[in-house]
Amino acid sequence: MNKQNIAKLNMFFMGISQRNSENKDFFNKLEVTFKSGIKSFTGVGEDQNGKYKFNFKGKTDVFTFEDLLKHIAIESENYDSISFRYIERGTTVLIEGDNKKVTVKYMDNEDVKPNIDEYTASQIKNRDYYVKVGQANDLLKEIGVLTKDGKIKNDKIRKYNQIDHFVELIDKLLKEIEFKDSITVLDCACGKSYLSFVLNYYIKEVLKKKCYFVGIDYSETVIKASKKMADNLGYKNMDFIKEDLTNYTPNREIDLVISLHACDIATDMAIGLGIRAKSKAIVVVPCCHKELLGQYKYEALEPIIKHGVFKARFADLITDGMRTLMLEARGYDTSVVEYISPLDTPKNLMIRAIKKKEKNEKALKEYNELKSMFDVEPTLEKLI
């Protein structure tokens, strides 16, 4: 390549260097192909703990990222043309150059449309998925929705639909909130963190927004499992911490708190942590409710709640109702939606809360009136 176009190549490389500096967590690899006549020579660069190893012509060298780009630019002087691919999660930057011109092109992962087998296609044809088979295959295989060869598992179609519906609801919520350049999500009582992995994929690779995830759980086993999944997927923008929710203090600003089916007061711990962290939004799908079942009394309803099933269901209603009121008292606009069909699980309500103001005295008064009426002392208010 001539010196004039190598200079243009270096200008594009300056942009690549800046992109890498701002998006290190999302870098996968770079590929470069040099051509001389009919011969091609390909090199691959990968991140190795902050350094970048570059394998070319059977030799591997280690560089800083800037020095690697300089090395590639110098090497291009010996060839007729270069095709350079900077590959990060969701986006590939393609730079092509020869003695006539140098061009740059940005390509999304949506441009890749792998074949989908007939059975899988028949199972997913009735829904326009947010997390699509084909584009999200690595993720869907890792969380067990797809087989290794990309076929949907018979017993995982319902799980896939539930996960995708969760993303749909979160997508609507994200559009109601003004975020900075990056979104930080805190997953409380994260378990195997499936929803965090799915949201990570969706926010970065579909919405094209930078994001960071923190998963908190007291189980060392699930924390290790989540870390392994993150390594398998190459999701470097995730951190998993073994900690009790009541003891954890975030070291960064939190935009969204999520919690799925955290048992009993663990949901209150998640809400409390979200309020303490001044999260812009909180989304929880509560599980079992035990605390208020043994506390509440309401003489006028005794002829009904003398039946254990009715007493338990009313305890659920009081618990989630008072949770929404406490969120409103703390300045959150709240809504309650049916997350999935009650045929799948009776614990199917999702509470969504978006921070709108500092406090709501009317909601606080209503909360305190309900406390007095039912003679209860919810743990939630002690966790804020």
pLDDT tens per residue across all 384 residues of the chain: 999 999 999 999 999 999 999 999 999 999 999 999 999 999 999 998 889 999 999 999 999 999 999 999 999 999 999 999 999 998 999 999 999 999 999 988 665 555 676 667 666 776 788 998 888 999 999 999 999 988 888 888 888 888 898 999 889 888 887 767 789 999 999 998 999 999 999 999 999 899 999 999 999 999 999 999 999 999 999 999 999 999 899 999 999 999 988 888 999 999 999 999 999 999 999 988 889 998 999 899 999 999 999 999 999 999 999 999 999 999 999 999 987 655 555 567 899 999 999 999 999 999 999 999 999 999 999 998
- Measured from the Cβ of residue 310, the count of other Cβ atoms closer than 10 Å reads 13
Q: Residue 360 and residue 322: Cα distance in Å, rounded?
A: 14
Opening angle at CA 355, ends 349 and 360, nearest 5: 95
**Torsion angles phi and psi, residue 148, rounded to 5:** -60, -30
Sign of CA dihedral 195, 198, 202, 204: positive
pLDDT of res. 250: 93
Identify the pLDDT of residue 345.
57
DSSP state of 50: T
Pair 5, 84: CB distance under 8 Å: no
**Predicted TM-score (pTM) above 0.85:** yes
Concatenating the DSSP letter of every residue in 134-192 gives TTTHHHHHHTTSB-TTSPBPGGGHHHHHHHHHHHHHHHHHHTTS---SEEEEEEET-TT
- Quick one: 39 exposed, middle or buried, by C-beta within 10 A (0-12, 13-18, 19+)? exposed
**pLDDT score recorded for residue 157:** 86
270-271-276 Cα angle (round to 5)? 100
Both tokens of residue 291? 């605390």
DSSP state for residue 222 in the 8-state scheme:
H
The confidence score (pLDDT) of residue 159 equals 86
Residues with Cβ < 8 Å from 85, sequence gap 6 or more? 30, 31, 32, 92, 93, 94, 95
What pLDDT is recorded for position 16?
A: 96
CB 348 within 8 A of CB 339: yes
**pLDDT at position 53, please?**
96
Residue type, 261: H
pLDDT of residue 380: 94
- Are 363 and 281 within 8 A, CB to CB? no
- Residue 3 confidence (pLDDT): 92
Residue 94 sits at the vertex; the CA angle it makes with 233 and 206, to the nearest 5 degrees, is: 45
Q: Which pLDDT value is given to residue 117?
A: 65
Query: How would you list the strands of the sheet with 281-285, edge to edge?
Result: 238-242, 210-217, 182-188, 256-260, 281-285, 349-355, 332-338
CA distance 145 to 136: 11
Q: Check: CB of residue 197 under 8 Å from CB of residue 139.
A: yes
144 vs 232: CA distance, rounded Å: 13
Predicted local confidence at residue 113, as pLDDT: 56
For the chain, helix (H) and strand (E) counts, in that order, are 11, 14
